[in-house]
Each structure stands twice: as structure tokens, then as C-alpha cells.
Amino acid sequence: MPISLKCTCGARLDIDDKFAGQTIPCPDCNKPLVAEPAPPPAQPATSTSGLAVLSLLLALIGAFTVVGTLAAIACGAVAYRRVTRRGSTVGGARLAQAGMILGAGFTVIAIAAYASAGLFGIDSVLRQYVWRGKLQYPESLTVTKSRGFDDPYGIDRPAAAWGVVHGQTENDMLMLVNPREDAYILWLSDTLGQDDEDADSLRARALSVFRSSNLAKMIGRMPDMQSDSSKERGIDDARFEFDTVLGGIPRTFVFRLEQRHRHLNVLIGGARTHDFERLKEQFDAALGSFKQEGF
């Protein structure tokens, strides 16, 4: 196959490939020209990059998860770099490009959807899905629970939309949940010492029990009491309100304390801070309905 050469003076010539690598003088200006052999023909792809395929799958399967779509972009970038490398016999460049493009697009959509979840009610739908199967909705609005050593207590659900969480632990006696509103009503219990405790001590004990409750564990870590995001507001000796951040969301809770038989009953109702005033009447009604049978 002849080798084509072009001199800086504009002269062109074709020489036999047997002179490849040799120096040939230009016929017009006598300038030495090196006869470089033609590059070898590109090798056809013999296989498809597994990373390119994985990139596309991650983008489609992990759509709207952010983690999956970011992984799709990373796999696609590595696959594209390997596939397009000179001499590579592995194909899949278009698959890698598709994975990166879809991954980037789904990431942007997912982030925008999460940011506006509250606006479009998506978070409400997700909460109802998360709580599905974990809540009971009895016919009666009054829920009765017993600690096992005394008469049972009763508390009224504000409406039928409030479900009862299965089971109870040592201090978590009862949890009512309204998934749509992201609102909660709790009955927590703690054993008091032999000495009488003042109002401040009882509040501190109530907050301590709340911080270790199942609700706090499920939703997210609560800031320290010294944090600017946690603030307590007293109403009277037996009631107070508490602002905090739980699960990354500002929330407000109203506490009602009741002592009986050397036990402290901690009754709590709370929701997102911007919804608290709208739901406060429901909390007050539920907490005010708490009573022990026979009293």
C-alpha cells in the first residue's frame, strides 16, 4: 500500500510502502521527508463493556434514588474512557453515554422531587407507604392499654385517620400515628424515685424518656438540649411545649405530665412546627382524654 507524503513546500508524492521508515528527499525542494507507515486499521470490537451495560442498568433500575443514578454516571464514565482508548477491542461507547446521560437526568429529577416533596404531597404518600402494615385502625376511637400491674388506661384517638402502632416496650406504652399529617401522640412511662421531684426535674425526666423513645429512634437523632435548635417553653407545672429538630425537620411537641403510683405518665403530641398550631386542638383533646379506668 503506497505511503502518501506532503512537503511543507506543497509538493505531494506517493511512494512504495517498502520505503516505510526511510528518509526520502522532496523532488521540488530536496527537503528530507520521513516515510511513516500508515496506522494499522482499527480492530473491530469483539465484546461489549460490562461497565457500560451496568451503567445503563443502574440508571434505569436506580432511577430517582440518587445513589443509583450517581453510580450509573461513574460506571459510564469509566466504561467510556476504556472503550474509546486507542486499540481497545471492547465496544459499548453508546451504552456508556446513554448510562451517563440518563443517570444525570434522573439525578436532577430526583433531587428536584425530594426538594419539592412537601409541596406536591409526595412525602405524605411515602409516609403512608412506610407505615403501611405497622398500624392498626380499631373501630373504637378509644384505645385501652395496661402496664400489667394496675388498671388499664384509655386515650381517645383524635380521628379515624390515627393508627395505633403494634406492640409496646418498657417505657413506650402507646404510639398513635397520623401518616398523612406526619403527626404523633405518645404515652410514655417512667418510674419515679422515693423522693418527691420538683417540676423542673419532672420535665427533665420527661424529655430524657422522650429522647430514648421509639419515635425518636425511628425518625432520627435529636439535638442536644444545649443546642439552639432545641427549646422548651413552659405552660404550667404539668404542661410544656418543646421545639426541636427530628429527622432533619423542625418539629414542635406539647407535653402533659401526670404522676400516679410512683410512676410518671408522659403524654406527648407533636407534628412539624408549621403544622403544630393547626393540629394542636387534636393533641389537647387526645392528651386531655387520658384516664385510668376506675378513676
Reported as a single tens digit per residue, the pLDDT across 6-29 is: 787 877 777 776 767 677 788 788
What integer pLDDT is reported at residue 124 of this predicted model?
Answer: 73
In a domain, 122, yes or no: no
Intervals of the chain under pLDDT 50: 119-120
In a domain, 120, yes or no: no
CA distance 41 to 19: 19
CA distance 50 to 235: 64
pTM here is 0.59
CB atoms within 10 A of CB 118: 14
In a domain, 42, yes or no: no
Q: Phi first, then psi: what are they for 19, rounded to 5°? A: -95, 10
Q: Are residues 144 and 27 in the same domain?
A: no
Q: Are residues 280 and 191 in the same domain?
A: yes
Q: Are residues 175 and 270 in the same domain?
A: yes
CA distance 161 to 178: 6
- Provide the domain count of the chain: 3
CB atoms within 10 A of CB 218: 15
What integer pLDDT is reported at residue 139 of this predicted model?
Answer: 92
Residue that is written with C-alpha cell 469509566 in the block: 78
Beta bridge partners of 186: 175, 268
In a domain, 278, yes or no: yes
CA distance 255 to 211: 13
Q: Are residues 81 and 202 in the same domain?
A: no
In a domain, 149, yes or no: yes
What integer pLDDT is reported at residue 183 of this predicted model?
Answer: 95
What integer pLDDT is reported at residue 273 of this predicted model?
Answer: 94
Q: Are residues 154 and 264 in the same domain?
A: yes
CA distance 290 to 255: 13
Identify the CA nearest to 214 among candidates 182, 181, 173, 254.
173
What integer pLDDT is reported at residue 143 of this predicted model?
Answer: 92
Q: Are residues 66 and 203 in the same domain?
A: no
Q: Are residues 164 and 246 in the same domain?
A: yes
Residue 81 structural domain: 48-115
Q: With beta carbons less than 8 A apart as the criterion, state whether 82 and 66 touch.
A: no
What integer pLDDT is reported at residue 86 of this predicted model?
Answer: 67
What integer pLDDT is reported at residue 35 of this predicted model?
Answer: 67
